[in-house]
Amino acid sequence: MHNKSITELAADLRAGDYSSVELTQYFLDRIQRMDAGLNSFVTVCSDEALSAAQAADRQLQAGQGGLLTGIPIAHKDIFCTKGIRTTCGSKMLENFISPYDATVVTRLKAAGVVNLGKTNMDEFAMGSSNETSYYGPVRNPWDTETVPGGSSGGSAACVAARLAPAATGTDTGGSIRQPAALCGITGLKPTYGRVSRYGMIAFASSLDQAGPMTTSAADAAILLQAMAGFDERDSTSADQPVPDYSAGLEDDLTGLKIGLPKEYFGEGLDDAVAKSVEEAIAEYRKLGAEVIEISLPNTHLAVPTYYVVAPAECSSNLSRFDGVRYGHRCEDPKDLEDLYKRSRAEGFGDEVKRRILIGTYALSAGYYDAYYLKAQKIRHLISDDFTQAFKQVDVIMGPTAPDTGFRIGERAGDPVSMYLSDIYTIAVNLAGLPGISIPAAPANGKPAGLQIIGNYFAEAKLLNVAHRLQMATDYHKAAPANLGQ
């Protein structure tokens, strides 16, 4: 059952081949049996999952429900879940029980999904390898000595290992797409505002966006359908109609114009990853697409711009974790200042502290104009590059990450090297565009990702383009060895 798509599982449930309770128990058993070697879950919700599965079965027996009714999934531990621990991968929220559900959780629950549990992640979504989690690193199921990518590494690893048919993730600078690439799955970052951020613990509010992580584009379309839509509780939510994402999946690609940015194929890109991406591009040519070289001239400024904007917003957002209202509180504080200092020093990890300090510095009175204001101006230039490109092409393609999964600990002492893992994904967040990573041919025996970038609210087109490659190739069907039966 673990190799079946959401559509196949839904058909089996409706045919009565097995119940949602049996399906849920099957995946809970896989998690119990296999996750000790991966560490992809922080919390497993066995009782809650089986109770939700029983409710789903009652719906299905009454001939009600939709495609997702009774389908088990996992949630990244950044989404608030009522009555269930939400830690954000941090000691700061180790014992936090949310009193409400995030909108993403509410909508998927309304669609009938069963929540298996909460997946491990880089602390407060800050990281590209899932090594900054208070709960320890997640291991890539393809090679447990390597990282799964981050910050949604737990979601990526659990889907790749078939511990869940799908999972939710969040993407601030590539945190859905980069781990999807390193784990050989499909990960979609929607247009900023397409999916509500309400109840999603904030890292960088102008960049964060939730999205689906699945084995295929067809499954991503189903999950996004339930997640997307306007939410009046989120002031950044886009009041745009939500199309039927599955309707155009098989549309013909003849005449599709694909832009290849020359800046994405230069120094720093692993040769094997480049070859893998080129093979995928060749498949699109066979499908009738036209390939055009384009330029995104400000690409080289994306990483430094991001690492001013994102830490500045993180500095502001994380100021609420002060040991007063919720979260970790130090023991026996002498006074209010001691409470703040020790609670934050004890509750946050090194990478979070590093970004808070950088952000606070960039926002300080003497440096605001020199750093934060300038970064916002460059952000507009980066966005303009994409605007010009989409006057010539329908989608933009390139590698998702410059290399494949690196060894755990290999870059832990070199933050700059770690930051460059997101060099191809960050600009998409700065511009607020949608992007998807899908598996390309393996590179050096490891998963490699093809990134497809679309214009604003063009998720349906991205899913169509991704799905057509997955119809023509078997890249996305590859799975790690030793997954069991």
Q: Could you give the residue numbers annotated as active site?
A: 76, 151, 175
Q: Which residues pair with 209 in a beta bridge?
A: 171
Length of the chain: 485
Q: Which residue is it, tokens 């999972």?
A: 167
Q: 217-227 and 459-472 helices cross at what angle (nearest 10)?
A: 160
**Residues 71, 386: Cα–Cα separation, whole Å:** 37
DSSP state of 407: B
DSSP letter string, 114-144: EEEEEE--SGGG--SSS-S-TT----BTTBT
Note whether 424 and 264 are within 8 A (CB): yes
Where in 325-460 does DSSP place strands (E)? 395-399, 435-439, 449-453
Residue 291 has, within 13 A of its CA and on its CB side, a CA count of: 15
Note whether 433 and 455 are within 8 A (CB): yes
Note whether 449 and 440 are within 8 A (CB): yes
HEC secondary structure over 330-358: CCCCCCHHHHHHHHHHHHCCHHHHHHHHH
Note whether 234 and 227 are within 8 A (CB): no
Q: Count the helices and strands in the chain (H runs, E runs).
A: 15, 11
Q: 20-34 and 6-15 helices cross at what angle (nearest 10)?
A: 130
**Residues 430, 59: Cα–Cα separation, whole Å:** 42
Note whether 397 and 450 are within 8 A (CB): yes
**Residues 306, 34: Cα–Cα separation, whole Å:** 36
Q: Are strands 257-261 and 290-294 parallel, antiparallel or unpaired?
A: parallel
Amino acid in position 327: G
Max intra-chain CA distance, the chain: 70
**Residues 323, 334: Cα–Cα separation, whole Å:** 13
Cα-based distances in Å from 351 to 130, 133, 357, 358, 418: 11, 10, 10, 11, 11
Q: Are strands 449-453 and 395-399 parallel, antiparallel or unpaired?
A: antiparallel
**Residues 221, 467: Cα–Cα separation, whole Å:** 10
